[in-house]
Chains A and B, each alone.
Chain A
Amino acid sequence: MRIILAMVFLLLSAPAWAHKPSDSYLSLAVKDSQVEGQWDIALRDLDYAIGLDTDGDGAITWWEVRSKHDEIDAYALSRLTITSGETGCPTQASRHLIDNHTDGAYAVLLFTTSCPTAIDTLQADYRLLFDLDAQHKGLLRLTHGQETTTAIFSQESPSQQFKIGDVSLWRQAQQYVHEGIWHIWLGYDHVLFLLALLLPAVLRRAADRWEPTPDFLSAFREVLTIVTAFTLAHSITLSLATVGLIALPSRLVESAIAASVVFAGITNLYPVLVQRRWLVAFLFGLVHGFGFASVLSDLGLPKGSLVLSLVSFNLGVEAGQLAIVAMFLPLAYFLRKSWTYQRLVLVTGSLGIAALAFAWLIERALDLKLFPL
């Protein structure tokens, strides 16, 4: 007997498996204090654990599975413990389906786990089948908002902890910074407003004529004042609108933004109108802040981390703005003495900006569509 066994072992040193070893697929979607779960467990494993093939014909029918649903729930759910912080969270099965994976049919168990408070640290303790199959693994896919984490439970690591709060807060902050940057870059009206204000910054008025600033420092100072005023103003209204202290109709806000761009363009052509451009930046900056606020509310604001998202978004906007300034200032300073800059860029540019913004103003105020932009 022993030798025969030996022969078989030796011959088949390179096995050709029909299947992979046993796995279950567990998906957990965390939302505040709740976890929506989907657990796919192979019918063959369940048959081995609790016996599904009641008539013993080697074929597992839907009826056989259906009549064992209570047992499947009891068996599986007693082997998965979800804890939030220190508190255990009860789990309730909700639906039963079937799915086909590469190695056969799986029972799909949908369930809901309810924790008393919003989940910050999720501890999952997985004990399915380890006592019956030492090579069994639980493949976890944990999602929280946009965040997806995967993990593998095995006999050696049946218990794992996941930081829900920390990880996602950091990611969330990154996401809002990103949105802020893109919004300022893709929102042409903000860029044009800023540019219109900055175009004359490398020049100065002398005897009713433009002439180049003598040094970089004074140009830099002018730009800094304008940008700071604009930033301060839009941060104030963005915050006030986001926490819900002020609410303005978006059509009014958008029209006012367009008007601000028209105004900024025109003041470059008639410089007598305005002596202190930082004041223009500040006053209209207030209007632009409301525009940012509507974008932020469109992104959907998490209740728990309102301040974080607000600050991150604003930081993104500033970063985007700084990038524009950093590109503009050296170039403009370099070109400031040329005829091209003083005539073509300043005059034609401002005129173009004002004309485009005027079209926006009509569009927005009258709710028309003139441009595909």
Chain B
Amino acid sequence: MNGTRTLGWLIATGWLALSIPSMTFGEPFLPQQDSQVLERLTVKATDPVAREIRTLRAGLLHDSQNVDVAVSLATRLIEQSRSEGDPRFLGQAQAVLAPWLNQTAPPAATLLLRATIRQNAHEFDLALADLDAVLSLQPTNAQAWLTRASIYQVQGRYEEARRACQPLFRLAGRHVALTCLGDIAGLTGQATTSRELLTASLERPGISARERLWVVTILAEMAARIGDAKTSEKHFLEAQSLDLKNYYLLGAYADFLLDQGRAPEVVTLLQRETRVDGLLLRLALAEQALHLSASKEHTVELAARFAAGRERGTRVHVREEARFTLTLLHDPKTALSLAQANWEIQKEPWDARLLLETALAVGSRDAARSVIAWLHTNHVEDMRLQQLASQFQGEKS
């Protein structure tokens, strides 16, 4: 039985490996009918967003030296990339800013936007360099401090992140600073304090729906980390009920459900979200747990997408690829090297978890060492991570 299963996987993996190039370079065809729809745009020309972008673009065409119009257009495009999950808009935003960024001393506003674009491309050090430049020009730029804090947090540099949150009390208001600090505190052994800080900022009158979504999502993830599934669920449902389309929230909620063994709900939640790689990954995992045949098709599709991403030489999805390789391709060796490469770039709980899981799967204590040290140094409060780490301590060799 075990033998046949291994053989089955070998065949499946081999077939997958063979099918990748043929999927990236498909067979061109001649559509048979004029009315055949080839592509659906995420934004129609008549949508308000599209109209706004068009107006700004026309404005820039008219007055190509106007940095304010360029910054507004780039900001709009970056927001668009968020809501559509399409990195194309980031490249477009960067192109809009290019004339100013090519100057010897680019304006602070354009540098700030480039920092955001680079943050999204996981070029964290370059983004931080841009933020340094912004803050030397404008030491009171709250957005720059906040972005800096968030990059430091992703890099696991918590002390520096906390310091970057401090000026926000003065520059952006108490609730922003508290949320900034609360997010870090929740990770680094102060979950109770963090919960109080965050709940307090929720009480603030006039909090916008977007701000509420941010805070509630942090609360939900934090509760999940300390093993309080009930509270976590409550916060996730509250965040969902805000009705703001948000891929990050969907992914986090799906992960929560998967960990709770509630795969059928994940399938219902993500069935229509196959466009987004990270969500398709979670859908395929849920389908695998339920022994649905769709899991195989989705695995092949994901493999092709990761291959296409690799072909262009930039790697943003290393975390997802490591998880995919471990859990759907069942190749812990390759997954481990991906998880290690990812850990070099970012150090969030999921990055730690993947490195521990892959290290366990190949039985390498050495590979887990840096994560275990990270857990201790920062007093990271995460039940699952503690549990994984204890498995290494259990088998002393």
Contact = CB atoms under 8 A, between A and B. Distances in A.
Interface stretch (B37-45, B324-332, B353-361): B37-45
A139 B312 contact: yes
Chain B interface helix/strand/loop/mixed: helix
Interface of A: 2-23, 25, 38, 40, 43-45, 47-48, 53, 56-63, 65-66, 97-105, 108, 130-137, 139, 152
B278 A20 contact: no
A135 B226 CA distance: 40
Interface string B302-332: 0011011101111011010000000000000
B28 interface: yes
B248 A25 contact: no
Contact of B214 (A11, A23, A43, A61): A11
A10 B217 CA distance: 12
Contacts of B173: 3
A317 B72 CA distance: 71
A15 B30 CA distance: 36
Contacts of B317: 17
Interface string B46-89: 10000000000000000000000000000100010110111110
A102 B312 contact: no
Given A17-B278, A139-B311, A8 B305 contact: no
Contacts of A11: 213-214, 217, 246, 248
Nearest to A43: B39
Given A13-B154, A17-B86, 15 more contacts: A4-B211, A14-B319, A16-B85, A16-B250, A16-B277, A19-B87, A23-B308, A44-B88, A60-B41, A61-B37, A62-B33, A65-B38, A102-B304, A103-B308, A152-B313
A97 B26 CA distance: 12
B208 A6 contact: no
B276 A56 contact: no
Chain B CB within 10 Å — which of A5, A19, A53 has the most?
Answer: A19
Contact of A98 (B29, B120, B213, B314): B29
Nearest to B168: A6
A99 B29 contact: yes
Contacts of A132: 92, 95
Contacts of A57: 44
Given A43-B38, A57-B44, A59-B41, A14 B348 contact: yes
Chain A interface helix/strand/loop/mixed: mixed
B88 A63 contact: no
A102 B79 contact: no
A8 B154 contact: no
Chain B CB within 10 Å — which of A7, A97, A130 has the most?
Answer: A7
Contacts of A40: 28
Chain A CB within 10 Å — which of B90, B91, B217, B277 has the most?
Answer: B91
Interface residues of B, number: 87
A56 B40 CA distance: 11
Contacts of B35: 61-63
Contact of B142 (A2, A8, A15, A58): A2
28 contacts: A3-B172, A8-B214, A9-B146, A10-B146, A11-B214, A11-B248, A12-B82, A13-B119, A15-B82, A16-B250, A17-B276, A23-B311, A38-B28, A48-B92, A53-B44, A56-B45, A59-B40, A61-B36, A61-B38, A63-B35, A97-B29, A98-B29, A101-B24, A104-B39, A132-B95, A134-B98, A135-B88, A135-B91
A59 B39 contact: yes
A11 B34 CA distance: 43
A299 to B, nearest CB: 27
A60 B40 CA distance: 6
A132 to B, nearest CB: 5
Contacts of A139: 311-312
Nearest to B144: A6
Chain B CB within 10 Å — which of A15, A22, A45, A131 has the most?
Answer: A15
A3 B173 CA distance: 9
B232 to A, nearest CB: 17
Contacts of B121: 135
Contacts of B247: 12, 15-16, 18
A136 B312 CA distance: 10
Contacts of B307: 102
B210 interface: yes
Contact of A21 (B41, B84, B87): B87
B308 A18 contact: no
